[in-house]
Amino acid sequence: MRKIAGLGARSVVSLLGVGSLVGLTASCSSPSPAHEYAVPSNVCGTHVARTLLEPLLPAGEQIGTRPTSTVGVKRCRLVVDGKVIFSSSLEKRDANTTADDVASSAHGVDPTDSRAEEGHVIYSTTGAVGLVRCPDSASALSTVWATVRTSHAVKAAAMRAFIEGYVSAAAKSDACRTLSGQ
């Protein structure tokens, strides 16, 4: 290594090392992007703990919801700063529908992704599906399934926690009663 402005090789290496440490420390201590909006406590009427939803949402200034429904499906889209960043649905399906069936047609999740809840939940870093166990279902001919997807990758553990909380909350909601035919 050549001498730089009268410094020996060891001095240059030491300065470079200190500079790298300062850079790493600065990047580790910089604040992570913040939600300038209030994280909702429900997903279009299905109450879910903010602590489950927050890890799935990006930083931004404003959040809004776009609920829609058709026969047998209730959808919810969350919009941050004008962009759809989160979508969920509660869907009525045939009684013999499996998690693999739902994951095959859902965006952001695949039947080969991680599983939980005895195979009734499949999740990834961008989506999840889960069986909603509606209490006292009036029809043995149908089931209700929840799907979730994000426009960006999140931690798989956060997606799993959300879908498990979401299906539990949906089982107690009006949407579950309406879709399951109660």
In this predicted model, what pLDDT tens digit does every residue of 20-67 receive, in sequence order? 434 434 444 334 457 899 999 999 989 999 999 999 999 999 999 999
What residue ranges do the domains of the chain occupy? 1-30, 42-179
Q: How far is CA 40 from the centre of its chain?
A: 14
Comparing 3 with 166, the larger pLDDT belongs to 166
* CB 115, CB 103: distance < 8 Å: no
Cβ neighbours of residue 54 closer than 8 Å, sequence gap 6 or more: 35, 39
pLDDT at 34: 78
3-class secondary structure, 91: strand
Output the DSSP codes for 129-173: EEEE--TT-S-TTEEEEEEEEESS---HHHHHHHHHHHHHHHHTS
Q: What is the DSSP letter of 103?
A: H
| In the block, residue with structure tokens 């919009």 | 79
**pTM for this one?**
0.79
* Tokens at 143, concatenated: 């089931």
